Amino acid sequence: MKKFLLIIISLLIILFVLTSFTGTNYLYKALWCFTADIDDYKIFDNRTVNIGSGQPIAQSALYNSKQPSNELNSLLEKTSSVALLVLKNDSVFYEKYWKGYSDSSYSNSFSVAKTIVGLLTAFAVQDGFLKSFDQSIGDFLPEFKQEDKSKITIRSLLMMSSGSNWDESYSSPFSTTTEAYYGWDLYKVATSVKAVRTPLSEWRYKSGDTELLGLVLEKATGKALSDYASEKLWKPLGAQHSAIWSLDKKEGREKAYCCFNTNARDFSRIGTLLLHKGNWKGKQLLDSSIVNLFTSPLNIMDEENKKADYYGYQLWRLPDREGVFYARGILGQYIIIVPQKNVVIVRLGEHRGEIVRHSFEEVYSLVDWALKDF
């Protein structure tokens, strides 16, 4: 028994030395947590996205009068939904919560945060912090001043076409994405990528592109991402609850590509801003031409040499449902905008359904419910 314990202790010491030497100590946290969760803000350090004067969302006179079909409701339960909110004409039309969640419960946005960072990038251009979308990110990040990496622009990051070698694997504990999620040096992880393709030549989904946008915004504005989000979104949109943005370490940097935590009602404000093309209650916060650009289909080819018309600028699209676009996260976090019905749908949950084209079955089911019954 003593020999066995000695062997185990020796192996653990060797493992610790190896992971320390290779900079992979984040693996302990990854293996302990095993998989990402909608409540992961509890295991990370966070920064507050402060509110101003909260503006309640009106409740429709037809509140909860249109119920989902039994088929849709079963799908929502099968995919472990925790929140479903529908706004029609800027009023709460339908609302339901599961598993103890409520209209004030925090939930991880995952990649819905990419849309938020995209909008903040647009605000930074509008505010003059950035010259244009075509500015080189090397103006802000010295690691991108030389050779092929100097060709990476803000636009190429927005379009997920930077040409970097970021590894977007979710199953491997050794992937770049896993290190970014559980590690504690996002700057090093994001800026260590290599340029392997010509920017703007191919669409390839990479969380690293959005993380680089976050680093650019931090340098350009001189503000933490959470503070800029508070200034440009959370306060003007009248959010009623402070959001929290998870960091790589205490007082560190925001996980810009994910991990913006709030509730369904406050998430819906992002959708309402996009629905009205940057206008909030009569005030034009963001130029409508920028929203039109962000929600238009890309004209570049994807990895399968097909046009990536299902994506815009940090936003997804449904090409076969005219005008519909949405933000989405990996566990089925959605802010869906259905312009022809003046509808915004927020769905939060723990799983996604079956893949349908470049989207998921629950997205199509929710959109078709709105198109048919609203």
Q: What is the pLDDT along the chain (374 residues), one digit of tens a residue?
A: 666 555 545 444 444 444 444 455 555 454 555 578 999 999 999 999 999 999 999 999 999 999 999 999 999 999 999 999 999 999 999 999 999 999 999 999 999 999 999 999 999 999 999 999 999 999 999 999 988 999 999 999 999 999 999 999 876 777 898 899 999 999 999 999 999 999 999 999 999 999 999 999 999 999 999 999 999 999 999 999 999 999 999 999 999 999 999 999 999 999 999 999 999 999 999 999 999 999 999 999 999 999 999 999 999 999 999 999 999 999 999 999 999 999 999 999 999 999 999 999 999 999 999 999 99
Confirm whether 212 is domain-assigned: yes
Strands (E), the chain: 46-49, 81-88, 91-97, 107-108, 243-246, 260-262, 279-280, 283-284, 316-317, 325-329, 333-338, 343-349, 355-356, 359-360
Q: 172: burial class by Cβ within 10 Å (0-12, 13-18, 19+)?
A: exposed
Query: Is 115 contained in some domain?
Result: yes
Burial (CB < 10 A; 0-12, 13-18, 19+), residue 356, is: middle
Q: Is 16 within the bounds of a domain?
A: no
Range of the domain at 63: 40-373
Would 11 be classed as within a structural domain?
no
Q: Is residue 15 part of a domain?
A: no
The CATH number for 98's domain is 3.40.710.10
DSSP symbols for 181-246: HH-S-HHHHHHT--B-S-TTS-----HHHHHHHHHHHHHHHSS-HHHHHIIIIITTTT-SS-EEEE
- Whether 17 is in a domain gets the answer no
Evaluate whether residue 271 is within a structural domain: yes
Number of domains in the chain: 1
25 occurs within a structural domain: no
